[in-house]
Structure 1
């Protein structure tokens, strides 16, 4: 899609600001080695963030200052450009799925409650089934757009394990997540967090902003609420609360993307 020349130079600046020392492009789930630091990073550490920027001899306090500066790099113009793409992907996903599976018509509340079979043969509501299809299409769109616009600075559905007792989060590798999705291991994924789309500094644990797609089954003038963890007591922390706590973000950095309606905290 074309956002015009103004957006093009915004992305050039974004690439310079966030990616000046990224080194060879690699999958966002991979952890980078300290040995991959470039000469530019050595001479201008303020431009470099993520695992590759932790140079021998750099004090923890200095690293914290660098990371804090990196989190502020997504200024309002760049943020608007990011969100324009996300909203367009959400709109396209909703339209494509409804056209493909529902003759382009908006489901009624009654149809949303009907039970259908997913790919695993499990009975789920039509609302959940359609939402899953829309998520898949939207995330494919996002990956295609951002791979050229912001290579190495985003993750699609990263999985974090958050230990609330210690306040620490770890990133699970893609292969590990696939293994844990097998029925006999699935219980080990309980309590993990998997946001839809994350922009980060180059290190997926240094998150700048989180976006979750929300696809209402039928038309509504209100954004769907943040979900509470499945099986949790009423009043438990929501997805948003947990993202904020686990990734050390404030409310403005954890957002919902809703087709037709826009971006919401």
Structure 2
């Protein structure tokens, strides 16, 4: 099963890379490009099954999914993908420019250097580094920009900052509502959110549990042409041994990418 899954992952990767004018990284880890999952099927159609669980897709529809056309159909069509990614790239660039312009005299240059990123600043009553502050503010601008763009491009077919609670034992997942999240945080039980996933943008056809693609905005504090890796989960975390990107691929969608200012779409 694992061999067949890796083969399908490589096939899907080859097709996506061939059709995308995008930045890629060399590091893919040891679980194959798209990772793997033991999620149960419980879905009728091939496309729905494959969006929910790649391993279940291969188990049930291995022969059907052997063609590149079928692989792409369960991800997202090219025209839609390109339009979405173009808008998200614009949002990332806008967010970095707009936020840095708020602090014209704070840094030696137009953007902070490594030392300035580590310096502390006060936000309300909390002290954080400039890296954290700028990242939070840039994410807010990018989120508002993405919402405005996707409302026109894909009304009803996307979610922003939707939280998921995956079950590492069964491979199933459930949605965590914004109301539940707020209630946990306000009651002092925010630690219960530790084993959850919250991507910036999820593309779907009306149901976030049947996602087509996941995008995360990444805003490195220091300007660089190098691509940051997906952050790994530390020892003791429910997702230890996996990276953030692997968890997205294992439980939310096959197509996962980061959106960075200037660098654009980064897959893998």
TM-score normalised by the chain length of structure 1? 0.70
Q: Distance in 1 between matches of 2:234 and 2:190?
A: 14
Residue 105 (structure 1) aligns with: 110
Q: Distance in 2 between matches of 1:73 and 1:245?
A: 14
Segments of 5+ residues of structure 2 without an aligned counterpart are 1-41, 52-72
Residue 39 (structure 1) aligns with: none
1:194-231 CA distance string (max 9 Å, x none)? 00000012100001000000001111011221112366
Q: Distance in 1 between matches of 2:132 and 2:181?
A: 22
Q: Please point out which of 169, 174, 189 is paired with 1:165.
A: 169
The 1:208–1:101 alpha-carbon spacing in structure 2 relative to 1, beyond 3 Å, is: same
Q: Distance in 1 between matches of 2:94 and 2:169?
A: 41
Q: Distance in 2 between matches of 1:66 and 1:226?
A: 27
Q: State the superposition RMSD in angstroms.
A: 2.3
Superposition deviation, residue 179 in structure 1: 1.2
Segments of 5+ residues of structure 1 without an aligned counterpart are 1-59
- Is 1:114 aligned with 2:119? yes
Superposition deviation, residue 163 in structure 1: 0.9
The 1:235–1:186 alpha-carbon spacing in structure 2 relative to 1, beyond 3 Å, is: closer
Superposition deviation, residue 258 in structure 1: 0.4
Residue 130 (structure 2) aligns with: 126
Residue 217 (structure 1) aligns with: 221
Native 8 Å contact 2:234 2:240 kept in 1? no
Highest relative contact order (Cα 8 Å, sep 6+), 1 or 2? 2
State the number of aligned residues: 201
Residue 193 (structure 1) aligns with: 197
- Is 1:145 aligned with 2:149? yes
Tell me, what secondary structure is at the counterpart of 2:84? helix
Superposition deviation, residue 69 in structure 1: 8.6
Superposition deviation, residue 117 in structure 1: 2.5
Q: Distance in 1 between matches of 2:164 and 2:200?
A: 12
Native 8 Å contact 2:233 2:240 kept in 1? no
